[in-house]
Structure 1
Amino acid sequence: MIRSIAAAVCALLASVGLSACSSARDPGTYAVPGDYATVQDAVDDAVPGDLILISPGTYAEEITVDVDDVTVRGLDRNEVIFDGGDDLRSAFIVTGDGVSIENMTVHSYRHNGVIFTGTGELGHFEDDYRDPPETEDDGTVPHLERFHVSYVTSYNNGLYGVYAFQSRNGVIDNVYASGHPDSGLYVGQCDPCNTVIDAVTMEDNAIGYYGTNASGKVYVVNSTFRGNRLGLTPNSQTQELLSPQRETFVVGNVIEDNDNANTPPITRGFFGGGIAIGGGVANYVARNLVTGHDVFGIGVVGFNPFDPEGNVVEGNVLRDNGTDLIYGPSSAVSTSAGNCFQGNDFTTSLPEDIETLMPCDEQDHPLDEVDLRYPRDPAGVDYRTMDAPPAQTTMPGDLTVAPAPLPTEPTFPDLDAITVPSA
């Protein structure tokens, strides 16, 4: 209550032309709805270092977080609920550096559950959200710096569950996303991304993880991608900047049954694959358990106009896939192009005997063209009709303690310590 009175005094001073006083105060911990009626009210008055704690309840808000180094945290992951009512755009639109969104559920927004964006232009996501923004005068692409989303459940939103666009030095952990017609999790147009995705679960989406032009130290580890139309795809595209995509590490994940027709479809989508490296460069796919896909378990394939180069697929366990391992560049490519396969536990491949034809010996090997025929993408269902997911594990620890500021760069996982997960 004291904080609310102070905020009112500061607002009154500002309204008569005097300097607002909130920017000079020390950071603290403030409650919604105890100290502020809405989350947006709290964010609007926030200073770097603030912790905004949200009590259980249902909130019909769209929050823009444009202040740096603020943490927005629910007190119960399953009881702090942001409901867009199929009307609001996104639950959280984050343009500030160093922001954490934690321990809550977001659903039924027309666009995204949570979006971090370095564009600084919210209109980019209102209408033609796929048009890439302009670069800076020097040709560089500005990035949002440092972000964290943790213990968030995001479901049945119109595009993405969690969306990190033109953002880097981030951590996405313990997130559950389902029922999205684009992808549960998207990291795109960043270089270097320096982003760690750990212990997430993506189910019943068009795509579990979508990494378009996400390059430079992207780690997807210790996670589950189940029952999507496509499990995960680091990929290159021309409709976003910073192509081609490169250097994603996909290690130690369970990737199963990503051939679910009873999911929302994506326009011109692919159906029935576990991991698809679509025209990516220098990606590392290792020690994943990949099972139960109609078309392929792991595919290193061309994605017009890009062909894959220098990708390594090793030590994966593949079972019950239409074809376990596939290499399928465009017809213009007649060599291995530095792509290689070794030490995988598999049964079928295209081309046959793929590890003999494409060994990891730093040489370029000639290859015959592979004739790949993909099935028609089934119609799917409206994302609004998908069932809500079950309750998820809430964030442990004392939730009233404000976290330290996010580091300049996240701690990257020790890949050598990650083994193939059990079935």
Structure 2
Amino acid sequence: MTKYRIAYLMCTATVAATGLGAAAPPVAHHGVHVVWPDESIQKAVDAAKPGDTVLLAPGTFHQSVKIGTPGLTLRGMGRATVLEPGTKKDANKCAEGGNGICVVGTKDRNVEGVTVTSVTVTGFARTGVFSMATDGLTVQNVTAVKNGVWGIAQERSVRGRFLDNFARDNGDAGLFLANTITEEAGASDTEGTVIERNRLEGNRIGVTVRRLRNLVVGRNHLTGNCAAVFVVGDENKPKAGAVTVRDNYIAHNNKSCPKTPRLDALEGSGIVLTGVDDTLVTGNVVRGNVGKSPLSGGIVLFKSFVGVTSDRNRISDNVVEGNSPADLVNTDLGKDNAFVANTCRASQPKGLC
């Protein structure tokens, strides 16, 4: 008799002896919907119930999908499952917007608990994975490559988890999080969103956090971008900030990107803070970021383009070496910004190291 069989019989006997069998609550059963490359992902998603999994088989899917079902998991087989734009028009707004996977709630209610994992999204005109009005979305082990604007993007959402993703050669940011994309508004509270253990290479910007509060950017690996991490605020109220940027490895982000209507030319920027308050930058290794942009340098506290100061930010206990024009740069006129216990050699102005 096998150990598994013995354990099963012992468990059954215990339940019978204690009389718990009759009182046991029913077990919730969640369905699994398997989709092959020649089948419609959207049809499987539309048929799924909350808590179900839509499992994508290995292969290339030439289509987009929009998810609005709470608790749904969209899972592939790692890099063997690829989503690319279709040759025929998809009948959903996700595809019409140039996106691969969309997770979208409504104006009045966030969609809760969705997971997107273990898929590759590539070649979409706008975004590989886009989300809006979500609560507790998890995007994990996603590969987002060569999408026109963002690899993975989110707006108007809370409690997101962006873990172990790989974003490379996307037109703007590998990971982009904002309060809202289409209008001006004050910074919103993400209620503890986490961006951790991602690998971000060759994008215009590795991670952009725009007009948000209360989130962590930690333990990511960023190299070969024009700029690695941008934390951005503006004149709207409440102000952006209360972000923690910690324990990231940021090296040789020396790709050159031209000026845009919103942002100066980028080259050789490690971590940039502009127009934000109460942000902590600590425990990061920032090396070899070299450029001639106004935003170049290892860790840069940059004067806001709209004249808003950055106040009460703390840059401490980082290893910042071999960056140019300096390891630490402060061009902001804000109050109570502190540069403390960093390992570095050169700063602008002098005296920050």
Give me the whole-angstrom Cα distance separating, in 2, the residues matched to 1:166 and 1:44: 23
Give 3-state SS (helix, strand or coil) of 2:54's partner.
strand
Residue 8 of structure 1 aligns with which residue?
A: none
Deviations 1:334-372 (A, max 9, x none): xx50110111000011110025xxxxxxxxxxxxxxxxx
Residue 160 of structure 2 aligns with which residue?
A: 170
Give 3-state SS (helix, strand or coil) of 2:43's partner.
helix
CA contact (8 A) 1:72 1:102 kept: yes
1:104 aligns with 2:102: no
Deviation at 1:243, TM superposition (A): 5.1
Change (3 A) 1:308 1:114: same
CA contact (8 A) 2:204 2:226 kept: yes
User: 309, 312, 325: which is aligned to 1:310?
Assistant: 312
- Following TM superposition, where does structure 1 have runs of at least 4 consecutive aligned residues deviating by more than 4 angstroms? 85-88, 263-267
Residue 279 of structure 2 aligns with which residue?
A: 283
Give 3-state SS (helix, strand or coil) of 2:277's partner.
coil
Residue 22 of structure 2 aligns with which residue?
A: none
CA contact (8 A) 2:31 2:48 kept: no
Range moving further from structure 2, 103-112 or 269-278: 269-278
Q: Which runs of 5+ in 1 are unaligned?
A: 1-24, 119-143, 356-423
Give 3-state SS (helix, strand or coil) of 1:192's partner.
strand
Give me the whole-angstrom Cα distance separating, in 2, the residues matched to 1:342 and 1:299: 14
Deviation at 1:266, TM superposition (A): 5.4
Larger RCO (CA under 8 A, 6+ residues apart): 1
Deviations 1:255-294 (A, max 9, x none): 0111113x68755343221000011111110011101112
Residue identity in the other structure for 2:285: L
User: 72, 75, 92: which is aligned to 1:73?
Assistant: 75
Give me the whole-angstrom Cα distance separating, in 2, the residues matched to 1:45 and 1:63: 13
Give me the whole-angstrom Cα distance separating, in 2, the residues matched to 1:110 and 1:264: 19
Give me the whole-angstrom Cα distance separating, in 2, the residues matched to 1:265 and 1:45: 45
1:220 aligns with 2:217: yes
Change (3 A) 1:85 1:108: farther
Residue 231 of structure 2 aligns with which residue?
A: 234
Residue identity in the other structure for 1:79: A
Residue 207 of structure 2 aligns with which residue?
A: 209
Give me the whole-angstrom Cα distance separating, in 2, the residues matched to 1:192 and 1:300: 23
Q: Which runs of 5+ in 2 are unaligned?
A: 1-27, 90-94, 105-110, 180-187, 291-295
Give me the whole-angstrom Cα distance separating, in 1, the residues matched to 2:258 and 2:163: 24
CA contact (8 A) 1:205 1:227 kept: yes
Give 3-state SS (helix, strand or coil) of 2:42's partner.
helix
Give me the whole-angstrom Cα distance separating, in 2, the residues matched to 1:84 and 1:284: 40
Give me the whole-angstrom Cα distance separating, in 2, the residues matched to 1:265 and 1:41: 42
| Overall identity of the aligned pairs, in % | 25
Residue 21 of structure 1 aligns with which residue?
A: none
Deviation at 1:26, TM superposition (A): 5.5
CA contact (8 A) 2:33 2:48 kept: no
Report which of the two has the higher share of strand. Answer: 2
Q: How many residues align?
A: 295
Give 3-state SS (helix, strand or coil) of 1:337's partner.
coil
CA contact (8 A) 1:180 1:264 kept: no
CA contact (8 A) 1:211 1:235 kept: yes
Residue 31 of structure 2 aligns with which residue?
A: 28
**Match runs of 1:392-403 below 5 Å:** none
